[in-house]
Amino acid sequence: MHITMVKKRLADGSECRKCQEASAYLESRGLWGKIDDVVWAQEGDATSAGMQLGAKLRIEQAPFFVVHDGGTESAYASVLQLIHDRLGVSVSTSQRAGAIDAEDIGGI
């Protein structure tokens, strides 16, 4: 299994807040080492590797994760779903509820 994390780099060069939070969460759970690659989606640059991958997979928000496993490719827009489905770590209902970002409700 190979896991790629796609992070967004803002026009000012900083990493997006949600990408920082997802990385910190993985680190706090001792799971950062399971991420094999990080690819950047550069704000305003549709040719950046992360933007192209997002377009291919029809994912418009970062961070997201792409898992290659035995010839199949799966995408995850949620770090909690990734760790539950692919890393075998249990995720409580309260953790899932706490991960809901009010900025995401109602679309992009």
**Is domain 2-101 annotated with CATH 3.40.1350?**
no
Predicted confidence at residue 101, as pLDDT, reads 52
Predicted confidence at residue 72, as pLDDT, reads 93
Supply the pTM of this predicted model: 0.81
Per residue in 1-35, pLDDT (tens digit) is 999 999 999 999 999 999 999 999 999 999 999 99
| Residue 11 CB neighbour total at 10 angstroms | 9
**What distance in Å separates the CA atoms of residue 64 and residue 52, rounded to the nearest whole number?**
13
First-residue to last-residue Cα distance in the chain:
30
Predicted confidence at residue 88, as pLDDT, reads 81
Do 5 and 35 form a contact (C-beta atoms < 8 A)? yes
Domain residue ranges of the chain, discontinuous segments joined by +: 2-101
Per residue in 46-88, pLDDT (tens digit) is 999 999 999 999 998 999 999 999 899 999 999 999 998 988 8
Is 106's pLDDT higher than 90? no
Is 100's pLDDT higher than 50? no
